[in-house]
Amino acid sequence: MKERKALDSEEDINNLLALDNQLCFALYAVNRAITGRYRPLLAELDLTYPQYLVMLVMWEADRKGDSPRVSSIGERLRLDSGTLTPLLRRLEQRGLLTRQRSSEDERVVTVALTDEGRAMREKASDVPLRLLCDLGVGPEQAVQLREDLRDLLSRVEGDR
Amino acid sequence: MKERKALDSEEDINNLLALDNQLCFALYAVNRAITGRYRPLLAELDLTYPQYLVMLVMWEADRKGDSPRVSSIGERLRLDSGTLTPLLRRLEQRGLLTRQRSSEDERVVTVALTDEGRAMREKASDVPLRLLCDLGVGPEQAVQLREDLRDLLSRVEGDR
DNA sequence: GGATAACATGTTGTGCACAATATAGTTGTT
DNA sequence: AACAACTATATTGTGCACAACATGTTATCC
């Protein structure tokens, strides 16, 4: 038999590494699994999940008559220009939106939907329901989890 | 005033798109926020988060005297060879582990820790606690959320 | 009004994530 | 033995994600 004390602290480390694995890894794995579930639905629109998120922001802004700047989109989605610039460029090349540098402030690039981008909104409107059905998660459970995640997000982002 | 009916269905679509945004987007955003929290801690070990996950699996296997094959690691982390092969190659180049093709079955590549890789475990042992403190999440809350996420994961992965 | 700081976006480089395909080895059937 | 089916890993290509740096712009302080 081994010593009791040394074994315990070893076990503690094992448990911590395992717990940690399961807490943050669960998040990591679920996130990839869910974007995997989106993939076939979004493939019908020829969009990736991050592209879909950008389109959601754009549809929302467009309804208010806004043409958001790149930084606004980044703020909303917590993505930086290194991610957004090439992503927006691809959507622009496909004719879903336009990017235009402001004449007032040359640093600013405003993004606007084209008619084609606006039209895609209808084709995308059934994605959320189809996904929720696909997941087999009840609405109240979904809301609860979303609240927990939002709470966690504010904690994680809170004190920098 | 606009028609009641048309406005309602428009609002429904808006709500769905917004709810969807918030549920799955919350997961997406929290995941990135948390790996961002890991980043400075893991930078001390010169590891990325996926590399850290692989090392966790390796430390766990090593304790049992195992030298897992690439596919076992991938199964555990839900990652495929396109992700793991270059990642493992980088860890091998740094001398943390070895990759060896099995002589019994030449298709199989087994991965084993080096002494250096084994030694890193101690330096990494305080990462989980430091992260939990950093997040400001209580243990019982963490356990609850982990359970919810594991439940969700089994749902999402369940029926393919 | 000229240095300087703060700002908005873009560029470059590294490292995942994953689909599609390739390669090579193994097993089973005839 | 020959061949097909299957398996394990590697390779290639596209698209994020983010850090570090570059470029040009505006504002501010003196």
Question: B155, A137 in Cβ contact below 8 A?
Answer: yes
Statement: the CB of A76 is under 7 Å from strand C:
no
Domains, chain B: 4-135 (1.10.10.10)
Contact B23 A157 (CB under 8 A): no
Supply the pLDDT for residue B140. Answer: 83
CA distance B124 to A19: 14
Which band of pLDDT confidence, cut at 50, 70 and 90, is reported for residue A43? very high
Which band of pLDDT confidence, cut at 50, 70 and 90, is reported for residue A155? confident
Q: How many CB atoms lie within 10 A of CB A58?
A: 25
Per residue in A66-94, pLDDT (tens digit) is 999 999 999 999 999 999 999 999 999 99
Q: Which two tokens stand for residue A42?
A: 């979004």
Q: Which two tokens stand for residue B112?
A: 């084993």
Q: A100-114, B9-23, B129-143: lowest mean pLDDT where?
A: B9-23
Nucleotide nearest to B71 (CA to C1'): D8
Question: A82, A71 in Cβ contact below 8 A?
Answer: no
Statement: the CB of B86 is under 7 Å from strand C:
yes
Residue B88 has pLDDT above 90, yes or no: yes
Q: Would you report the helix, strand and coil content of chain B in percent, each value rounded to 5?
A: 70, 5, 20
Contact B131 A31 (CB under 8 A): no
Q: What is the largest CA-CA distance in chain A?
A: 78
Residue B98 has pLDDT above 80, yes or no: yes
Statement: the CB of B45 is under 7 Å from strand C:
no
Residue A160 has pLDDT above 70, yes or no: no
Which nucleotides in chain D lie closer than 7 A to a protein CB? 7-13, 15-20, 24-26
Question: B131, A156 in Cβ contact below 8 A?
Answer: no
Contact A29 B131 (CB under 8 A): no
Q: A67 has which bridge partners? A: none
